[in-house]
Amino acid sequence: MSARQMKLGLFLWAAGHHIAAWRHPKAHVTAGIDIDHYIQLARTAEAARFDMIFCEDAAGLREANVGIASQTSRSIGFEPISLLSALAVQTSRIGLVSTASTSYNEPYGLARTFLSLDHLSGGRAGWNLVTSASPIEAANFGSTGLKPHADRYERAREFAEVVTGLWLGKASGHDGQSFSVRDPLDVPRSPQGAPVMVQAGASDVGRDLAARTADVVFTAAQTFEEAKAFYDDLKGRMAAYGREPDDIKIMPGVSPVVAETEAEAREKHEELQALIPDDVGVALLSSYLSISDLGRYPIDGPLPELPESEGMKSRQALVIEQSRRDGLSIRQLARHFAGARGHWRIVGTAAQVADELQARFEGGAADGFNVMPSYFPGELDAFATLVVPELQRRGLFRREYEGRTLRDHLGLKRPA
């Protein structure tokens, strides 16, 4: 039995993470706003002993073009903290992590909301800090557009400092560059010391902020080498902030397609890939590349040269790197990235999926994984019934929860 066990998150995403999941014959088309759907997923994940449920967020449409947005698997959905508050009373052990933006909130309000969720759930809440890279979202919060990357992260650094200070009962009287806070919170100290701090930025400043403040980091990495380089780099930055490498759990996203046989898994995967409309795939690729007019280049030709993004720098770099490495055309890249939205995909049997996860976990490239089922509930059920027992047999994943809080599950220190 391995002493170190992997952490597993369930990344929720309406009908499923595959862009064409909503077209799958077994998909739930109105999943985005069906609370019973989410309760079912949360209960499946809890029965499988997942560490946490994770919700992404952007306060706005995910695609500028409404015609395209309406052909994706997540065109409508709930505001995630409201959703997790409902799930808090339908579950008892699983962690509840939501994304919230440092660009479009104020620290006092956000600290109060997450601390309330933490109490509602008996110490199971976490905040995924993002600076928000979407110009579509920016347009809903004033007319000045997306702020430069460096400015967003500068605000995020002070934001995180104020929030953790408020959670620890230390930040009243803060008077800084972007924020001024007079009083302590009207919510008492967290059952787990403080809600868990999650982060998902992967640029240089994003990594520094994570090294300083995060308990969990989500990333997108296709290859073992990319995952390992990110892991070593981030853990290497922590000593400068007086932290131990194990104080952060690094959890790359993974989108597994699993079945009893490899042929069956491949068939399931091909079935979904064939459902991707080309214009939707290209639109999604354009947003990762921060370019608005990718559609005017020949779809079977290579990617054009692109200026460096002011949006998601790390995701743009990942797409460009893959296009060069594998010599893929725009159509091939669009299909590839639309499938798992830039995340790692494994197609195979439970043993094959477990082998791949184990190799990254034991090879020092991950502390766990944020699982992104291609469609719900089918692929989550397949992962829970096929892969989880295989990981448990190998001693790589818990059979029972040992603690009650999210910090307990993740093996994180309780802040003083």
Ligand X SMILES: Cc1cc2nc3c(=O)[nH]c(=O)nc-3n(C[C@H](O)[C@H](O)[C@@H](O)COP(=O)(O)O)c2cc1C
Identify which of 1, 8, 2 has the alpha carbon closest to the alpha carbon of residue 388: 8
Cα–Cα distance between 198 and 127 in angstroms, integer? Answer: 6
Q: Which is nearer to ligand X, 130 or 276 (CB)?
A: 130
Q: Which is nearer to ligand X, 130 or 387 (CB)?
A: 130
Q: What is the smallest separation between the CB atom of 125 and ligand X, expressed in angstroms?
A: 16
Strands (E) in 228-274, as ranges, are 249-258
Q: What is the smallest separation between the CB atom of 230 and ligand X, expressed in angstroms?
A: 10
CB atoms < 10 A from the CB of 142, how many? 9
Identify which of 281, 339, 343 has the alpha carbon closest to the alpha carbon of residue 315: 343
Q: What is the smallest separation between the CB atom of 204 and ligand X, expressed in angstroms?
A: 8
Q: Which is nearer to ligand X, 135 or 295 (CB)?
A: 135
Which positions touch ligand X (CB under 6 A)?
A: 56-58, 99, 101, 130-133, 200-203, 206, 218-220, 253, 312-314
Helix (H) or strand (E) holding 269: helix 262-273
Cα–Cα distance between 100 and 216 in angstroms, integer? Answer: 15
With CB atoms as reference, the residue minimizing the distance to ligand X is: 206
Cα–Cα distance between 60 and 140 in angstroms, integer? Answer: 7
Q: What is the smallest separation between the CB atom of 180 and ligand X, expressed in angstroms?
A: 24
Q: What is the smallest separation between the CB atom of 266 and ligand X, expressed in angstroms?
A: 26
Q: Which is nearer to ligand X, 28 or 152 (CB)?
A: 152
φ, ψ for residue 101 (rounded to 5)? -85, 140
Q: What is the smallest separation between the CB atom of 57 and ligand X, expressed in angstroms?
A: 5
First-last CA distance in the chain: 32
Cα–Cα distance between 121 and 414 in angstroms, integer? Answer: 17
Q: Which is nearer to ligand X, 93 or 152 (CB)?
A: 152
Q: Which is nearer to ligand X, 147 or 266 (CB)?
A: 147
Spatial CB neighbours of 198, under 8 Å, sequence gap ≥ 6: 54, 97, 126, 127, 128, 129, 214, 215, 216, 217, 218
Q: Which is nearer to ligand X, 202 or 282 (CB)?
A: 202
Q: Which is nearer to ligand X, 147 or 243 (CB)?
A: 147
Cα–Cα distance between 310 and 36 in angstroms, integer? Answer: 38
Spatial CB neighbours of 121, under 8 Å, sequence gap ≥ 6: 84, 88, 91, 96
What would you report as the CA-atom Rg of the chain, rounded to the nearest whole angstrom?
20
